[in-house]
Structure 1
Amino acid sequence: MRISPLFLSLPIVIALTPGCGGSDGGESAFNPATNVDLVFSTFDIEDTAGKPANLEHTRFYDVYRALEPADGADTTSKDLATALRDHIDHFLGHTRNASDDGFKRVRNPLDLMNQVIASREVENFNVGRQHIEDLIDATVPGTYNTRANGAAIRFADQAATNTGEPLANRQWIYDTLYWNYTPSDANGAAGYEKVFRVIQYVARNNDGDDLASTQELTSLTSSSQFDALQFSSLGYNAPEYTIVSFASRTLGDMELRQDLVMDKTDTLFLKDSGIILDTESLDCIRVELDYPLSEVRIYISNGEPNQYDDDANPDTDDVDNPAYCGRLQAGDEAYRYDAITLAERQ
C-alpha cells in the first residue's frame, strides 16, 4: 500500500524544482547565483521609528491578528487563540506585544531572508531579482538558483556568537534560494506569467551543543507564487499564494498555506504538536482563517491517519481517511468563532 504525504496537497501550482510550467525552448541558461556570507548584529526583526515597517511583511503577521476573537468577552475563543499563538511563537521566535494580539519582534530564518531580499543590501540578491525582471520584460523563462550553482548562503548573528550560543542559534545556512519565471503554463499556453520563489533552510548543530538551549525550528521550506506582471526588483513583492512547512525538535510539524487572491483564506496545520486545546491533547489540528467572513474554524482529530490501508494489497493506493483533520468538511469543525476583521485581506 503506497503512502501519501504528511499533509494534503496544495490545489495550486508552486514550483519546487526548475522547469515548472511550459517553455518554448528559449529558456535562459544564465543563472547569476553566487555565495553570500553576511554578518548581522542580531537576527531579531523589529519595527524602527522613521524606517519602513518590517513586521507587516512577516509570514504570520495576518494569521496572528486574525486569530483574535471579535468578542472581547469570549474567553473560550481567546484561550484557543492564545494556545495557537504560543505554539507558533516556539517555531518562529515571536515576542508578543503588550495587548497580546500581535508581536513586536520576530527571529526566524524565513522572515529574515524575506527582509534581506527586500532591503537590497545584498548585491547578488539584487542581481537575481533584476535578472528575473529582465526575463519578464523579454518573456523568456529562466531562473536564479543557488542550489544549481552550488552557491552557499550563510547568515551569522554577531551578538549570539559573542555570547556562545549553540550553532543553530547563531548561524543560519540556506540550502536553496530560487526564483523561476514561467511565462507559459504546463501545456505551453502563453499568458501564464508567474514567478515562483523557494527558500529552504536546515539548522546545523555542533557536537556538544546544549539542545535545550537550541532553537526549536530545525528546517523549513517556503514556496511562493507571484504575478510576474507585478514583480519588482525593488522592495517586497506581494505573493498570490504561499505554502511553508516547518519541522521542529520537539513540537512536531507546522504548515501554513495562504491564498491571497481567490478564497482569501489561510490554513494552518499542526501535526504531532503536543498542543492542548480546551484540555484536549491532539495530534492533528487544522485552523482555517476565513478573511471575507472574519471567521476562525478549527478542525481536530487524534489517532487518525491521513490515509489507511483498506485491502491489504501493497499494489493499490491507500484510501483517504475522512476522519483525519485535514479532510474534515465544513460543519465538522470542533470550534468556530467570529474574529476581528482585517480590511486588507477582504
Structure 2
Amino acid sequence: MNRHGEIVLSEGKGLRDLGGAPGQLVGLNIHALTLAFTPLGSIYERVQAGEAIAERLQVADRTLDIRAEPLQSGEGDFDGFVAVATDVTDLDVAGRALVQSQKMESLGILAGGIAHDFNNVLATILTVAGALRRSPALGPDEREYLETIDLAARRGAEVAGRVLAFARGGTANLIPADLREVITEVANLATPALRRTAAVRTSIPPEPVVVECDRGQLTQALLNMVLNARDALPRGGEVRLALTCVGRQAVITVADNGHGMDEATRARIFEPFFTTKPPGQGTGLGLAVAQGIVANLNGAISVTSSPGEGTTF
C-alpha cells in the first residue's frame, strides 16, 4: 500500500481462501468506507504513525497472523507499508483443542481426588436414611421424603462412581432403557432443587422409546442441563423436558425461557471450569461433564440461545 492509502499489490493463496482473486484489491483506497472500518484500516493508521505490527486477527471465519512494516521514502517520510497475512486457522483450532484436552485432564485428576470423599458422605446419608425408614412413628409424607433422599443419594453414589470411571478412562455400561422413564426420573429429581417460582414441564410420547445407554450417566447429564436452566431463571419461569423421535434417532430437548446467552458465552459453555456465575456459586463443570457423557454414549449436544430468548439444548 502506498502513502496515499492505495493498494498497489495483492497476491497469495490466502486471497483465494477468502473468496477473492490475486490483484482483486489493487486500486482500492483505504480511505474508502468499505475498508476504513476493517482491520486493514486500523493497521494503516498504526503503521502510518511508524508502528510495526505483529498480531493475530479474525477475518470472516479465518484466523490470520498479520505482520506489517512501514516503508520510508529517501527523506525518511512515510511512504506506505507492506503486510503479510498467514492463515493459521488450523493451528489455532489445534491449539484450542489442546487447551481443552489439558482442561479435561485436569478435570479428571480433580474428579478422582474428590470422588472417594463424596462416596463417604453419601454412605452416611444412606445409612441414616435407612435407619429412619425403619421407625414406626413415620407418617406417609415423611416416608416419601426419605424415599426421595434415598433415591438422590443413590444417584449421587452412581455419579461418584462415574466420576471415578471418568478419571480412570472408564466406559459407559450400555443397556436398553426407555427414555420416557429417564425423563420422568430427571424431572422428579430436579423438582425439589427448583425455586418455588420455577417449574419443570415434561412432554413424552405415549409409546416406549428404547435406546441403548448408560441410564445413570444419561440421567446425570440431563439433570446437569436442567439445573443449569434453573440458574437462568432468577425470577422464575419454566424448564421444559421433551422427548421426540426423528427417524431412527431419539431427540431430548431441555429448554428454558430465561435470560438466554450472547454468542461469546454460547461458544464457551462446554469448556471445563467456564462459568458466568459469581464466585462460589458455580464450578463450570456441569455442562462440560454433560457433553462428555453424551459423547461417550454416541450422542451429540447442540445449543441455541439469544439474549432474552431463553436457551434450548
Alignment TM-score, normalising by the size of structure 2? 0.24
Alignment TM-score, normalising by the size of structure 1? 0.22
Give the number of the structure with larger relative contact order, counting CA–CA contacts within 8 Å between residues 6 or more apart: 1
Q: Which has the higher strand share?
A: 1
Task: From the CA coordinates, give the structure whose radius of gyration is larger.
Answer: 2
Q: Which has the higher helix share?
A: 2
